Structure 1
Amino acid sequence: MDALFGWAGFAAALAAFFLSHSLPLRPANRARAVALLGARGFTSAYSALSLGALAWLIVAAGRAPYVLLWPRTPGLTHATLALMLLACLLLGLSIGRPNPFSFGGPAEGFDPARPGIVRLVRHPVLAALACWGTAHLLANGDLAHVILFGLFTGFAALGGRFVDRRRKRLMGDAAWRKLWQQVQTAPLRLEPARLLAGLGLYGALIALHPLVIGVSPLP
């Protein structure tokens, strides 16, 4: 009975997570929410809802019955650390930077002659999410966490295609392709300050992981 409730709680948290990320973004729902809360209020409320649903999902995964699929080994630990380093560097190079190709897609301030990380990765935040999901998939070999992080990884891997379709519709296919060709011919320049920010984030996550999660990510 405890196992049944554990899986039921995990399923409920999983459903709530995806509903909280899809329902508010439907055009009609979003328009009503923005009219009521304002653009910034909607963003703040949506962010708080998303973080709350994510926290519930992570707790529910930890309470689900433990079904081991593979053990944690030193090799998997090193792979996890390497993937998390890549995820942090991608975030450091992309957060707050204009990217007309990605979701949200602000074009203001974007210079196709100096695209930064977008020269290598069109959707760096999704790539970081894929690295994060894969890293934690390797490190957590029980069934509930495999489902959890597998879904995140799959979403990140497929999400770029959906974002590309949407951006092409909004920008026009010809304009989208022309801008991407400009980005592809630009020289690759990665900002040292952003690389350092990514390294700082990586160090902070390693230091805080035992305090927040209760498990050290180090071998």
Structure 2
Amino acid sequence: MAGWGEFVLAYAAFLLSHVIPTRPAIRDPAAAVLGQRGFTLAYSLLSVVLLTWLIVAAGRAPYVGLWDHAVWQRWAVNLAMPVALALVVFGLGAPNPLSFGGRAAGFDPDRPGIAGVARHPLLWALLLWASAHMIANGDLAHVLLFGGFALFSAMGMRMIDRRKRRRMPDWAQLAARTSAFPFAALMTGRWRPRGGPSVWRLAVWLAVWLALLWLHLPVIGADPLP
């Protein structure tokens, strides 16, 4: 299948880049040189660059249609994206030692915040984004792209929970009022929100959502609206 080389190479590079933060032999020397904040920024920049390349490579791959486009598919994306963005905006920087990269300082298991909505808000955001975009892009390259992200996020949540259970003796107590599935703790009565959402986070969420709607056509080349 000629023309798939760039897509395969970009996908491999993106996946291999995620080995860096999990390998102390690679991560620790880099963090020693750059500092922890510098390493985080550098790795984040690398991830964004490789993700951009992967998305561009998927668009350049030969078109192999798997299903036809329909208006309802765009509605699926437009309904999923505000939820996914809310999980990102409210999840980033929030105290949450139960998920990857989350800090323990400031986390109150009786008032878990965004973890009460979803224990892994960023991975749920990735799952929603990928699943909705896979539905709306019925060609082989984009199904492989978004399907891979969806699988990665779903498996990642299970792996993180298993790892945290092993390493945190008080995991059950800390996770008692959190949700493996969004709003599960709310529906079962294990968690009740206290107080309203942060106004500045709401403002950021709205600004990012509108910016993505506005930039999607000129940057991605596809109109996101039905």
Q: TM-score, normalised by structure 1?
A: 0.90
Deviates more, 1:49-58 or 1:107-116: 107-116
Q: How many residue pairs end up in the alignment?
A: 214
Kindly indicate whether residue 135 of structure 2 is the aligned counterpart of residue 138 of structure 1: yes
1:211 corresponds to which residue? 218
1:31–1:192 Cα change, 3 Å = closer
Q: Deviations over 1:158-202 (max 9, x none)?
A: 111111122223322xx0001112555442245152344323322
Match of 1:93 in 2: 90
Superposed CA offset, 1:118-161 (max 9, x none): 11211011000000001110111110000000000111111111
Match of 2:182 in 1: none
- For the Cα contact (< 8 Å) 1:87–1:131, is it kept in 2? yes
Q: Identify which of 69, 74, 91 aligns with 2:71.
A: 74
2:151 to 151, 154, 166: 154
Contact kept in structure 2, 1:112 and 1:186, CA below 8 Å: no
2:128 pairs with 1:127 = no
**CA distance in structure 2 between the partners assigned to 1:214 and 1:20 by the alignment:** 27
Cross-structure match for 2:172: 177
| CA–CA distance in structure 1, aligned partners of residues 174 and 63 of structure 2 | 49
Structure 1 residue aligned with 2:105: 108
CA–CA separation in structure 2 for the residues paired with 1:88 and 1:44: 21
Contact 2:74–2:136, Cα closer than 8 Å, also in 1? yes
Flag the 1:24–1:111 CA change in 2: closer, same or farther, 3 A: closer
Q: Quick one: distance in 2 between partners of 1:34 and 1:168?
A: 27
CA shift digits 1:89-128 (9 cap, x unpaired): 2122212211111101211111223222211211011000
Contact conserved, 2:77 with 2:136, CA < 8 A, in 1? Answer: yes
Deviation of residue 46 (structure 1)?
Answer: 0.9
- TM-score between the two structures when normalised by the length of structure 2: 0.88
Q: Are 1:126 and 1:159, in contact at CA under 8 Å, matched by a contact in 2?
A: yes
Q: What is the aligned partner in structure 1 of residue 31 from structure 2?
A: 34
Find the residue that maps to 1:56 and give its secondary structure.
helix
Higher relative contact order (CA 8 A, sep 6+): 1
Partner amino acid, structure 2, of 1:187 = R
Identical columns (%): 51
Q: Which runs of 5+ in 2 are unaligned?
A: 179-184
Per-residue deviation, 1:24: 4.4
Listed as ranges, the gaps of 5+ residues in structure 1 are none
Deviations 1:1-54 (A, max 9, x none): xx51x2111111111110011134312211121122221221122111111111
Structure 1: which amino acid aligns with 2:162? Answer: R
Distance 2:74 2:52 in 1: 23
